[in-house]
Amino acid sequence: MDIMMPSMGGETAIRTLQTINPQVPIVAMSGLVTAEALVQTKGIHIQGFLAKPFSAKQLLNFVQTRFR
């Protein structure tokens, strides 16, 4: 989930998904370093954060290690 999305921001999208399914795993991502801190200070529960840019291999490794 990109934190800085147009129209519906990442925070709103994450909270909406978690309302629908509280068990949904969320991996947040952003090109802004401050986005990770923003997510944490707003009390949004996520399973991880990836800073952009990242490769497909980095994403795959991240998902494999976090969601076994």
Whether the predicted model's global pTM rises above the 0.75 cut = no
Closest listed residue to residue 2, CA positions, set 43, 63, 53, 55 = 53
pLDDT beyond 80 at 46 = yes
Above pLDDT 70, what percent of the chain?
Answer: 85
* 30 three-state secondary structure: strand
Q: Where are the domains of the chain?
A: 10-66
Helical axes 10-20 vs 34-41, angle rounded to 10°:
40
pLDDT > 70? residue 59: yes
